[in-house]
Amino acid sequence: MTLASLMVHTVTVSRVTRTFDATDGGWTEAWNNVDVGRKCRVQPLSALEIARFETMNSRVNCVVYFEGRPDVRFTDKLAFGDDSIEVLGVRDIDRLHRLLTIDGYMEPLADISLSPSPSPWPSPSPSP
């Protein structure tokens, strides 16, 4: 098994660019895609790992692995399907540029409800 065979997902790397606005003296920010279709592996963290990061006031809830050393920077965003992953940390673990590890925060899906779903069975009627 090769490292490349583990890279089963693809993401688009986006980076913010700032342009000076001469009319009002401010800055305009825009997100631009800098790498489209980059192979990777997105791994959600377990509840225990997330709790450990939360004790350190960190929002990390997923890790993204890249083969080699693609140009991914702190503050970039990764588009993963319909989800967006905010890059919170970038690590070259073995320092040999073979595996780049990204600590990320993936927004929880808004349509997921933690309340129990309604039962398809009718509730029993109270006994007299």
Provide the mean pLDDT of the chain.
85
Which residue, among 83, 102, 86, 94, has the nearest Cα to 40 in the 3D structure? 102
The model carries a pTM of: 0.77
Domains and CATH numbers, the chain: 4-106 (2.40.10.270)
How is residue 44 written in tokens?
Answer: 């959600």
Contacts of 9 (CB under 8 A, 6+ apart): 39, 40, 41, 42, 80
pLDDT at 113 over 50: no
Residue 123's pLDDT is what? 52
Residue 23 pLDDT greater than 60, yes or no: yes
- Separation of alpha carbons 66 and 72, rounded Å: 10
